Homo-oligomer: A and B are copies of this chain.
């Protein structure tokens, strides 16, 4: 049995390929895919906390904290202490972060469209459904 016939290999490679395509578009802006994902979530939900952000991204907290720290160092994102819970922080895009994020073309759509080349609508939905079931089996 050939290695590139295994489900794990195919999942790994297709995920990596798709991510690489995304990062190709992000490179001119100096962003990585996870950084872009963080900015997208914070842009969508200003004031989001670290735990909720990590949960939405599917990362653990240390990973998410690290990505946020690198974005903070570039002054694209702000950590603010919550007034209601001294442990919690609220995340916001800085003005520079908002400007940069607004300047990004519709990257996700573009990469998704490329991934879906040659597929019909039903096939994509089916693929997503199968992937969700795979995840369920490991939950």
Chain A residues near B (Cβ < 8 Å): 3-22, 37, 40-41, 56-58, 108, 111-112, 114-119, 123-124, 126-128, 130-135, 137-139
Determine if A15 and B15 form an interchain contact, defined as CB atoms under 8 angstroms apart: yes
Pick the residue among B17, B116, B126, B138 that contacts A21 (CB under 8 A).
B138
Residues of chain B within 8 A (CB-CB) of A119 are: 130, 133
Q: A10-B132, A118-B133 are in contact. List 13 more A-B contacts (CB 8 A).
A: A3-B41, A4-B56, A4-B58, A7-B112, A9-B58, A13-B135, A15-B15, A17-B134, A21-B138, A114-B137, A115-B134, A118-B137, A126-B126
Pick the residue among B15, B20, B40, B138 that contacts A114 (CB under 8 A).
B138
Tallying the copies of this chain within the complex gives 2
Closest-CB distance, A67 to chain B (whole angstroms): 14
- Distance A108 CA – B5 CA, assembled complex (angstroms): 12
A-B contact pairs, 16 of them (CB 8 A): A3-B40, A7-B127, A8-B15, A8-B108, A12-B58, A13-B58, A13-B135, A14-B135, A15-B15, A16-B58, A114-B137, A116-B137, A117-B137, A126-B130, A127-B127, A127-B131
- Distance A12 CA – B111 CA, assembled complex (angstroms): 14
A3-B41, A119-B133, A130-B127 given as contacts; is B8 within 8 A of A112 (CB)?
yes
